[in-house]
């Protein structure tokens, strides 16, 4: 996503690559959904489909955390006033989010996927949440919440020591085992039906990725060799755990929530993958030439690509469905959707006021 701040003297090259990579990963994740989701139920049609979804989707589970880290890498601690910070976020993030929320609520009516009554229900639901056609926008709600917390977090990051951040990240990392532990012992540390705010609640969730991004920026400057060794090792460990657990649960899970246990973005295995991937991408320094100029353009459009991709994804799948094997279909749907969104986002960027549409 586009996160360049006005105080930034020059672009951080690897962040442009990271946004493009994370955007493509998100689209690949959603390309797999045609092969394991049926409405609100599990829709795996064969053992082979279960294997390929495990292998492909699991490889891209760090997509959302990488977006979070890219969105905070230059923003924390905050520079300037909170008023200026929120004004920029409102124009660049909230307004396009509102525009696309309305489009997802209304446009499917034009090609017959929903009725006029559905449109009315969708518009009403936008008062409190996304609707069924725009499930991927859950991420923006979460991101806005993180932005709202940044003025609270920033003073602490300015004052705390390296050890202070390490202690926070250690406690946060322990919480990433939480939903696995609950399978064994149930509610813990004060959890009960009248209180979900357990002892470590305030150290859990996506806030950990904000602190992790700041910690990497401030304290980790490893050599290429060490970054690759640690990064690749952590990514592979996280990936294997993620894929194996998911594949095993394709034979036992009865609900999507159970099936996707190891895919949760704030689980330790996805943290491993995210940290590993971030270390690797951070060493990219190709900031000149045609390749980088191309990446730069896509990076500037990445938020718009994310917002619109579900529209293109459905059409891509309908065109390619039934012609190829499962893994080939997933790759073709994801790649064609990404390319189509890049072209459409670029065209929209030429419109007056395009920042209100594609960010």
Distance CA 298, CA 305 (A): 9
Backbone angles phi, psi at 8, to 5 degrees: -80, 120
Q: Which residue has the tokens 């357990």?
A: 198
261 closest CA partner among 274, 273, 249: 249
Separation between Cα atoms, residue 121 and residue 136, nearest integer Å: 19
pLDDT of 10 reads 67
**HSE-up (13 A, CA, CB side) for residue 266:** 21
Question: Could you tell me the pTM of the whole model?
Answer: 0.91
CA angle 167-171-174, nearest 5°? 140
Per residue of the chain (359 residues), give pLDDT as tens.
444 443 334 688 999 999 999 999 999 999 999 999 988 889 899 999 999 999 999 999 999 999 999 989 989 898 888 888 898 889 889 999 999 999 999 999 988 888 899 999 999 999 999 988 899 999 999 999 999 999 999 999 999 999 999 999 999 999 999 989 989 898 889 999 899 899 999 999 999 999 999 999 999 999 999 999 999 999 999 999 999 999 999 999 999 999 999 999 999 999 999 999 999 999 998 888 889 999 999 999 999 999 999 999 999 999 999 899 999 999 999 999 999 999 999 999 999 989 889 88
Phi, psi of 127 (to 5 degrees): -70, -20
Asked if 149 and 203 count as a contact pair (C-beta separation under 8 A), the reply is no
pLDDT of residue 8: 38
> Pick from 60, 79, 51, 113: which is nearest to 247 by CA?
51
CA–CA–CA angle 250, 252, 257 (5° rounding): 70
Q: Tokens 């730069």 identify what position?
A: 296
Antiparallel, parallel or unpaired: β 41-42 and 37-38: antiparallel
Which class for 237: exposed (0-12), middle (13-18), buried (19 or more C-beta within 10 A)? middle
- Predicted local distance difference test score (pLDDT) of residue 24: 97
Helix (H) or strand (E) holding 30: helix 13-31
pLDDT of residue 258: 92
Tokens of 123: 């518009």
Cα–Cα separations (whole angstroms), residue 40 to 101, 132, 253, 257 = 21, 10, 13, 10
pLDDT of residue 162: 95
């Amino acid at each position: 996503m586009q996160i360049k701040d006005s105080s930034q003297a020059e672009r951080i090259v690897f962040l442009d690559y990271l946004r493009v990579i994370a955007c493509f990963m998100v689209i690949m994740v959603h390309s797999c959904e045609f092969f394991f989701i049926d409405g609100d139920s599990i829709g795996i049609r064969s053992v082979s489909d279960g294997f390929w979804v495990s292998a492909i989707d699991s490889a891209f589970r760090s997509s959302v955390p990488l977006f979070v880290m890219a969105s905070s890498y230059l923003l924390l601690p905050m520079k300037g006033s909170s008023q200026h910070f929120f004004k920029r976020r409102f124009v660049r993030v909230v307004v396009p989010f509102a525009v696309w929320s309305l489009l997802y609520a209304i446009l499917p009516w034009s090609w017959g996927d929903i009725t006029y009554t559905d449109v009315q229900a969708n518009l009403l639901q936008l008062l409190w949440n996304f609707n069924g056609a725009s499930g991927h926008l859950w991420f923006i709600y979460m991101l806005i919440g993180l932005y709202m917390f940044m003025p609270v977090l920033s003073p602490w990051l300015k004052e705390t020591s390296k050890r202070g951040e390490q202690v926070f990240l250690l406690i946060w990392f322990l919480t990433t085992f939480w939903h696995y532990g609950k399978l064994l012992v149930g509610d813990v540390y004060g959890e009960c039906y009248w209180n979900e705010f357990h002892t470590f609640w305030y150290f859990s969730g996506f806030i950990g990725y904000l602190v992790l991004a700041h910690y990497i920026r401030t304290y980790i400057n490893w050599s290429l060799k060490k970054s690759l060794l640690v990064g690749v090792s952590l990514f592979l460990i996280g990936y294997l755990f993620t894929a194996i657990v998911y594949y095993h649960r394709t034979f036992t899970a009865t609900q999507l929530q159970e099936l996707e246990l190891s895919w949760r973005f704030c689980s330790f295995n996805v943290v491993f993958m995210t940290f590993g991937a971030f270390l690797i991408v951070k060493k990219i320094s190709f900031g000149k030439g045609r390749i980088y100029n191309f990446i730069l353009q896509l990076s500037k459009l990445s938020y718009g690509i994310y917002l619109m991709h579900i529209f293109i994804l459905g059409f891509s799948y309908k065109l390619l469905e039934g012609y190829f094997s499962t893994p080939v279909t997933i790759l073709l749907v994801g790649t064609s959707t990404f390319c189509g969104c890049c072209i459409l986002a670029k065209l929209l960027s030429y419109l007056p006021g395009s920042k209100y549409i594609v960010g």
